[in-house]
Amino acid sequence: MFGFLKSQEKKMRENAANWLELAEKVYHFRRDVLPAAQVAELQGQIAGLQALLKEKAGAERLKLAIERLEEVLRRTGGAIYPKTALVENVEFFLVAALVILGIRTYFVQPFKIPTNSMWPTYNGMTAEVWRNPAERPGALGRVGRFLAFGAQRREMVAPDTGPVTIPVRAGDGRIYFEAKPGRKWLVIPTTVREYTFFVNGHPVQLRVPLDFDFDQAFHDATGIDAAQLAWRAMAPSVGLGAVREIPVDLKAVKGEPFLAFDIITGDQLFVDRVTYHFARPKVGQGFVFRTDHIDSPHMRDQAGNQVEQYYIKRLVGGPGDKLEIRSPMLYRNGEPISGSDAFRANNRREGRYRGYANSGLLSTGEVLTVPEEKFFALGDNSYNSLDGRFWGFVPAKDVVGRPLFVYYPFTSHWGPAR
């Protein structure tokens, strides 16, 4: 740190020690493949430089000895010395990758929240709708929003002027989509949702991430929710789950976007992987775990394969705990649950917290006991969370850690995790 304060002799002695370390490495790794004469020459130069260090020779004599040793190393070093820029860069990135992998595996792991099951404590992907074209950010604004919030624009541009119709599932009022293969960052294979609307009978496609709640974005843009869509899709001859094309109140003008919004990335946080090796998870903590061994139909993908992902919920019960929902309140061992601000806010329906909903394993009147070596977790957004009520218990061996710090995007959630 204070190298500029060192004398020239001291700097040269440190330099000589570094060259000796390299020379010893060459000698030990290559003495069996080098001719005897080169081995002897290398040993001689090593011994000579060691002797100069021992007698505390001046900087000039050390410099000459280093130059002689370097000349020998060029002839005897093989792949060890001299190194090309390519080799040095490869070694640097390999070491960096190993260090990062070690930190991620044993200490701190980055994690991105894709859905809004923990809203409003944490955000998944959300939409910011631009109803007024004049309010839509220009090119510079979009760059700034991408850097600060991970915002990515989505638009449906009208191929014609006329009425807009959309495909809606009868019964639940959800907008119909197809799962399609796509690319993340133009490289990584992934699965996306593809929605098809019609303007005057002409199709318009829009693709969004698989975990993105497009129905909520559509509601924000139009004011039409799933219940209204379900009512419009009702028909005596249409069964539940059937898809109907229904008109909606969107103005489509040829060549202009009739639906535009930004997808704001979900909260990205660091997860502490160390603490749970030494301390038992506490009820009320954010709770990150793997889904590898959760046996449930809700943990199967469309092909029937086990979902193997990281999930984040809030820990509500450990082995032996008895849980019950008397909506909107969650009870643990006969008492209103405590241990987290989110528990209190949900039980009181404070602010944007809507309370706990009876469903699945915690339907009305059901009391659930957590088995040994298991944990039970719920989302803070109970009315929009696929959680333990549906897929059951988390095996203790799949517990990963607790959230530490929201590092991106730079919203009000940035800072220590809650």
pLDDT of residue 235: 62
Q: How far apart are CA 196 and CA 166, in angstroms?
A: 7
pLDDT tier for residue 236 given thresholds of 50, 70 and 90 = low
pLDDT of residue 326: 97
Residue 22, domain member (yes or no): yes
Q: In this model, does residue 286 exceed pLDDT 60?
A: yes
pLDDT tier for residue 158 given thresholds of 50, 70 and 90 = very high
Residue 121, domain member (yes or no): no
Residue 47, domain member (yes or no): yes
Q: What's the distance, CA 28 to chain centroid?
A: 45
Q: In this structure, are 146 and 246 located in the same domain?
A: yes
pLDDT tens per residue, range 370-414:
999 999 999 999 999 999 999 999 999 999 999 999 999 999 999
Residue 42, domain member (yes or no): yes
pLDDT tens per residue, range 54-108:
998 888 998 999 999 999 999 998 888 887 666 667 777 777 777 777 777 778 8
Q: In this structure, are 272 and 408 located in the same domain?
A: yes
H or E stretch at 69: helix 59-76
pLDDT tens per residue, range 102-136:
777 778 889 999 899 999 999 999 999 998 888 88
Q: How many domains does the chain have?
A: 3
Q: In this structure, are 30 and 12 located in the same domain?
A: yes
Residue 255, domain member (yes or no): yes
Q: In this structure, are 310 and 286 located in the same domain?
A: yes
Q: Which of 217, 248, 264 is the last residue of a domain?
A: 264
Q: In this model, does residue 1 exceed pLDDT 50?
A: no
Q: In this model, does residue 140 exceed pLDDT 60?
A: yes
Contacts 24+ apart (CB under 8 A), 306-313: 310/111, 310/400, 311/377, 312/111, 312/113, 312/118, 312/122, 312/286, 312/287, 312/288, 312/403, 313/117, 313/118, 313/286, 313/287, 313/289, 313/377, 313/378, 313/379, 313/385, 313/387, 313/388
| Residues spanned by the domain of 350 | 268-416
Q: In this structure, are 196 and 252 located in the same domain?
A: yes
Q: In this structure, are 222 and 249 located in the same domain?
A: yes
pLDDT tier for residue 198 given thresholds of 50, 70 and 90 = very high
Q: Which of 225, 242, 264 is the last residue of a domain?
A: 264
